Every structure is written in structure tokens, then in C-alpha cells.
Structure 1
């Protein structure tokens, strides 16, 4: 990459790290928030769920907005929204308002992530895998060290610091992005006389509404049942409303002249569908380990939070080391080999988890974490390159948004999987069952990689 490309990557990277950083930092603040607001875990856990739900809905919407109105504008706007939310969240007098600012923060950071990937796709045309490996360092690095940073900030100051820490990143990213991200022409002119009805049709307001209502209510119904520990009639009704809305959304999109998500494109480019399915499964695997193993280590192996955090760093560090290597490998050979190696490593790590028991040496845990960390470094680059090669350039914004929604759906499914397998408490037996399920998922990813055909050309139409 030349100097301009490097500065462009730094500008985008400082912005996109905000989403994974804030999704992981908050995990260590749960106990503190329970004490501050005098709430039980079931209620406070919505500080995590609300972020994932809002991100799942917002990413494709913001990707669509960037395709229509310009990616640079949406990126800078996302930074402003994230700045406001991070500044006001610590002032929340009650938990409900804190959740509100958390959702606003999620929307702002989702604008940055969805558009950031599209900016890389548009403006860096050579050695894209290498560029994506740099972006992956920001994404996976922020997720890996988020719990450590959050714990340190809470220890030194208090929980508001995990919001205020965003401000220097936002300001620096905004200044660099203002200078380094090229101005782009939106696909539609904001000027011009258009009635509200024409504007609504142009942006597909009905499709956006149906998608948002469907996805949000479905996830709220599922996660409410999980957090309460039982399924009530209310949970079922909310979930069914979500499903019905998504069905209407599909019917609407197939008839819309300017659809929010052009569903027919998935038929024309089936590789795009499989990329999203694979990415969702990858995240089910990764986050089942990322969320499940720390709790197992603390409740079953009786390790301290500090020792658990140190062990979990091996996962993030392996991912960081491998990402730039993966970028060079994929630039030369394409994503197929990297994704195949990733699937094999995840299979090895899952099988290794099955062998763990209460007396297994901690080095065994490190081996499983290292296998998943290396595979995560390969996946972070390989899956994004596969997305770029299967997506038409004209809809790269919305395609990137859907891609990131697949990430959050995988994250939510991993949480549900852990809850179903472990029940009310973690055990060595539950971890083995979880390992068996993860092995099956990993083997399916190996099979998908074997059937993959790398395309040397990027989609342009």
C-alpha cells in the first residue's frame, strides 16, 4: 500500500474499532452496573443484548444509506453520533436512559463499521487482502483487549470511563477521515423536487421499517425468554410478530422497484448467500468459546478474573499475529485455502475442548484458545475478501451491512447455544457437550471450504 492508502486505513481503522471495543468492554462492567442501579443480572444483561440487537438492524440500513447518500458522509456522521452517545451515557440518571444511549452508540458505531468496509472496497483496489488484514487488526485487537481495558478503567476510575475512553478515538478518527477519505458522489441527488412519497419509495422506507420491526421483535422475544429463564406466552407472541414482519418484508422486497435489500441478488450471486451463512456459523463457533470459556474457567476451575483475562489474551494475540500473514497469503492464493485451514483449526480446537476436564492443565486450555485465535485471524481476512469477490460493487454498502448483521446473529445464537447447553450453571460435562456441537459446526465449515471456488475477479456490476 502507498502512503495515502495507509493513512486511509488508519482513519477507517480508528473508527471501526469502536464497535468491537464497546461490545467487549461492557462485559466486565455488569457487576458494577448491578450495584449502581440496584438491578438483578437479568435486567442488566440488556446492556449487552441491546447493543447486539441495534447493531444487527442498523448495519444493513446504514450500508444502504451509504450507497445512496455517500460513504464519507455516513462515516463522519457515525463518528458524531458515537461521540454524543459516549459523552452523555455516563450522565444517565437511570438504567433506562443508559440503555437508550447504548443503543445510540451502537447505531453510530454500526454506521462506521458498515461504511468502513465499503470505503476499503472502493478506494483500495490492489492487495485488498493485505488492506483487510490491517482493518482486521483494529477489529480483532479491540475485541481481544476490550475486557482488559474495561477492567482496568473500572478499577482505576469507574464505569463511566468505559464510555469516555471512546472520545479520543472518535476525535482522532474524525480529523483523519476528514482529510484522508475521498469525497464520493451519492447515487441520488439530495437536491431536486421530490415528494415524500417518491423519497419513501426511493429509500424503501417500508422495507426498512418491516426489516427493523421484524428483526428487533424476533430477537427481543428470543433474548427475553433466555434472560428470564422460561418461555412465556408474551415471548411467543413477540417472536411471532417478528417472524410475520420478516415474511412481509421478503414479500415487499421482491416487489419493490428500489428495494432496501435486493433479495434477488442472492439468487443471481449465490456465493454471496453462502458467504453470509459461513460467517454466521464462524461467529457461533468463535463467540461460544469467547463467552463460554471464561465463565467455565471462573466457576468450574475457580480462576480469578485476572488469570482468566490473561488466558483469554492468548486468543486475541494469536489472531493479531496471524491477520497480516493471512492478508499476504490470501492476496497470492485467494481466500479458499485460508478458510479451509481455519475450519481445520476450529475443528481441532473444538475436539480439544471435548477432552478437557477439571484436572486438565491450563496449557491445554491455551492450545484450544490458540487454535481458535489463529483461525479467527484467517477468517477475519478470508471472509471479507470472499464477500468482496461475491458482491456487486454497486451494493457493497448494503452487502457489508448484511455481512456484519450475520456476525451479530452468530453472536446472539452463540449466547442462546450456551444457555441451552449449560442451563443454570456451568459444568465440565456441559463444556464437553458444547465442544461436540462446535465440532459438528466446524466440520460443516470445512466441507463448505472444500466446495468453495475462488474467483480471481471482483464483482463490478
Structure 2
């Protein structure tokens, strides 16, 4: 690609955002959402084809998010160090491999393994997009140049519209295996776009080094040469990553199979978590800087808010979809059609509110929307009119459009600029922990069959999470600063 630094607004010397970066940024960031939504209408056909109950097919959801929850902050940190291009190309190639494995899977175990590969493969897209946005912001002098954060949010919502409907179409034409085969052409397109459009220089790495130390002319970071092997190993913090993985894996395995006999997993969580904290507080270049993160209360609150928000969002996405097929009697295609009002509403809300400064207002309305939708779900039955299902989906579209955008903006302006990608990865990690809680609650509520009683039980869990989300927003007095930062960025981006 040509040097982006030569681009400027006509008649001025003011540099502009390099729009050629948008295609790989968009495609990379939506690989995970499209696989999240497309599987929602494939769970029942897979269960029937492989003879598995809903409690087992729930692992197809959990496997993706377990891998992504682990991989996002790890890959994000590597992107902070080495730049986005290499990590983007490796990860998106893995998406293609996962597509092949899933398409040919002979049983549920192999299918779950393909979802694990898919989770790791989709790890780089979103952190890479945030890192590119940060580096372009530094180059142009504009945070969120051209409203790219809004564009990313709208792209994710648009893909979410396509996911369930596309899944239903693919299942109708080629069976549930076609939903896995879709990843093969998507991965090829992402790799080609990455090779063609992403800059080769690891700008993020050099910026990080020169910000922290006054690099001499012979410093590899100053000359653009790769750092020495020893310094790479020290900065990656492999022990910290390993302890983080052990902590999170144990926690998520416990959440996925809530039972007293699994108490030992909580001991592993406590031991690995304590060792991780000690390691990160003592090492010079931690994987997750707990000192900085611990002092950043607004960012920690945003992560907590993301967790409970996505408990509601993913419980609806998977639980409601399964109920519309098994409890209400819709086909996978029609179950996908029922969710279209939600995603269309989410796109409209994101577009209309994308450049408005109120972060707190978006979060409050989003919380209210979740609560109202959960209350309506509690009135549903197998004989409810179809328009009532569509109304639930429409109401859910409001928090879908507001929450994602507001959380994304919050992290971008609250995070340490040198750790933009890893902070963005952690946002997704907390969101995926929420999805794991939702998946666990869905499996416990439905058991072997997604009936109306199970849907009502799940709705109570969603309602509790929605109320907690509202409380975390009402009592957070730091949101005004995020709104001010969004305002300044919006003005600069015009």
C-alpha cells in the first residue's frame, strides 16, 4: 500500500484517516460476531443430526468464547508489541482451518474442537482494528478520526443482522455443515485484504518503546529492526499469560458445569489467580499491568458493565433462538427472521446515536431496554402471537445498538494508549465471560429441551443481570469524563 502519511485534506496539510485500512479492519472485527450469530439457528439441527441434547450443544457456544476470552488479551498484547499485521494474518488463517475441520467433523467432539480453533482464529480482528485506529489517531491528530468507532459498531450490528438469516438459508441449502464452511472463503478474503492493505511496519511496537525509554539511534526499536530475542521474551511475559489462561479456563469450566462436585475448580481459580497477581505485580513488563489497571476505576467498571450486559445479550441470542425453534415450533430460517427486527433496530440506533456525546445516557437507555424486554419474555408462551416475539426482538434492538457502542467508546478513551489493543481484548474477554455465564444459565434452564418454562427461568436470570447493569451505570460518576472525551474526538473528526 502507498504511504498513508502522504494523504491529506485537499488544500491543507492536515492528514486524514487512511480509508484503505477499513476493509481489513471491518472484516477482521466481524469474524467473531458472524460466527456467534450464525450458530444460534444451527444448534437445534446439529443436536438432531448428532443426537445430542441442548445441554451438550451449548458447548459449541462456550468453546468459541472460552478460546476467545483467553486469546483476545493475549493476542491484543502481542499486537501492542509487534503491530497488527502479523497477528492478523496468522489468526485469520486459523479461521479457514477451523472452517475445514467443522465442515468435515464426524461427531460433536470434533465440532467443538473446530469452534475452539475458530475462537483463537477470530482473536486478532478487533484488537488489530483498535490498534490501527489508535495509530491513525496519533498520525492524524484526531481520536476516532471520521467516526470509525461508530463504523466498527455498525459493521458488527450489520453482520449480526445477516448471521441468523444467513444461517437459516445455508442450513436450508446445504445443511448445518454449510455454516462452518462459510469460514473458508471469509478467511481467504481476510488474509488477502490483510496482505494488501495492512502496513508492514510494527509502528505500535516502536511507539511503545520510544514512549517508555529514550531510544538511542542504535536501538533496534529506533531503527525499525526487530528487537533482540531476549527482549521479546521478557516483554511477552509468557508466565503471566500462562497463569492468566489457567485462571480463566478453570473459572469458565466451573461456570459451564455448575455442581458441588466441581468445587476443586474454584481452588484452582484462587491459586492460579493469586500466582498471576503476584507475577504481574513483580515483573517489569507485565502481560496485564495490574498497577495501572487497578488504579483505573472507570475502566474496571466498564469491564464489569460489559460482563453483565453480555449475560443478557447472549442469553437472548441463544436461549430465545432455541426456544423459538423447540418451544414455539419455528424452522431455523424463520427463527432467524424473528431476530431481524432486533438487529435492524440496533443498526439504526448505532447510526443515529454514534456521534452523540452522551455515554451515560446511552448506557441508561440500554439498561432500561434490557429490563423491559426481559419482562415481556416472561409473558410469552408456546401459543403467543408471532407479533409479540417480533416486539421482544425489536425492544432488544435498542440496548444492542447502544450498549456495544458506549462500551467500545468508554474503553477507547479510558485505556492506557500504549495498551489499546490488549485493553480492547480484555473488553471482549469480559464480554465472553458474560456469554459463558449466559450459556451456563441456558443449559441449566433448558436441560434436554428448550421449553417455555425453561425460557421463563432464563428470563429471570437475564432480568437480574439487567438490573445489575442499571445499578453499575447509575452509580458510576466517572462516565462524564468519557462523554467529554467522545465530544472532543467527534469535533476533531469532523
Is 2:90 the counterpart of 1:61?
no
- List per-residue Cα deviations over 1:262-289 (Å, max 9, x = no partner): 1112232211101111111111111122
Secondary structure of 1:244 counterpart: helix
Question: Alignment partner of 2:378: what SS?
Answer: helix
Q: Report the Cα distance in structure 2 between the residues aligned to 1:371 and 1:299, rounded to whole angstroms.
A: 22
Instruction: Find the residue that maps to 2:480 and give its secondary structure.
Output: coil
Does residue 381 of structure 1 match 2:405? Answer: yes
Q: Alignment partner of 1:371: what SS? A: helix
Query: Any idea what SS the aligned residue of 2:289 has?
Result: coil
Distance in 2, matches of 1:418 and 1:34, equals: 15
Displacement of 1:255 in angstroms is: 1.6
**What's the CA shift string for 1:40-89, capped at 9, x where partnerless?**
65555433321111011000000010011112222222222223332454
1:317-356 to 2 correspondence within 5 Å?
317-329=344-356, 333-356=357-380
- Give yes or no for the alignment of 1:312 onto 2:339: yes
Q: CA deviation at 1:209?
A: 0.5
Map 1:180-259 → 2, pairs under 5 A: 180-182=197-199, 183-185=201-203, 186-187=205-206, 191=226, 193-195=228-230, 199-223=232-256, 225=257, 231=259, 233=261, 235-259=262-286
Q: After alignment, is 181-190 or 80-89 more displaced?
A: 181-190
1:172 corresponds to which residue? 189
Structure 1 CA distance for aligned equivalents of residues 266 and 333 of structure 2: 39
- Tell me the CA shift for residue 170 of structure 1: 2.7
In structure 1, the partner of 2:99 is: 86
Q: 1:380 to 1:84 in 2, by over 3 A?
A: same
User: What's the counterpart of residue 117 of structure 1?
Assistant: 130
> Does the aligned pair in 2 maintain the 1:131–1:327 contact within 8 Å?
no
Partner residue of 2:147?
130
Any idea what SS the aligned residue of 1:442 has? helix
Contact kept, 8 Å, 2:40 with 2:322, in 1: the verdict is: no
Q: Measure the CA separation in 2 of the matches of 1:237 and 1:217.
A: 9
Preserved contact between residue 60 and residue 402 of structure 1 (Cα < 8 Å): yes
Give the C-alpha shift of residue 298 in structure 1. Answer: 3.4
Q: Secondary structure at the match of 2:76?
A: helix
Matching of residue 148 in structure 1 with residue 162 in structure 2:
no
Write the distance in 2 (CA, Å) between the matches of 1:47 and 1:423.
Answer: 15
Please report how far the alpha carbon of residue 374 of structure 1 lies from its aligned counterpart in structure 2 after TM superposition: 1.6
Shift of 1:379: 1.3
Partners of 2:50 and 2:465 lie apart in 1 by: 39
For normalisation by structure 2, the TM-score amounts to 0.81
Whether the 8 Å contact between 2:41 and 2:335 is mirrored in structure 1 is: no
Match of 1:275 in 2: 302
Deviates more, 1:207-216 or 1:84-93: 84-93
Alignment length (residue pairs) = 449
Superposition RMSD in Å? 3.0
Mapped partners of 2:255, 2:165: distance in 1: 30
Is the 2:91–2:122 Cα contact (8 Å) retained in structure 1?
A: yes
C-alpha distance in 2, partners of 1:127/1:204?
30
Segments of 5+ residues of structure 1 without an aligned counterpart are none
For 1:347 and 1:89, locate their aligned partners in 2 and report how far apart those are by CA, in whole Å.
Answer: 36
Structure-2 separation of matches of 1:285 and 1:423: 19
Q: Of residues 287, 293, 296 in structure 1, which corresponds to 2:323? A: 296
Cα deviations by residue, 1:293-323 (Å, 9 ceiling, x for unpaired):
2233334433443333221121112112222
Quickly say closer, same or farther: Cα 1:5–1:347, change in 2 above 3 A. Answer: farther
The answer to which of 157-166 and 425-434 deviates more is 425-434
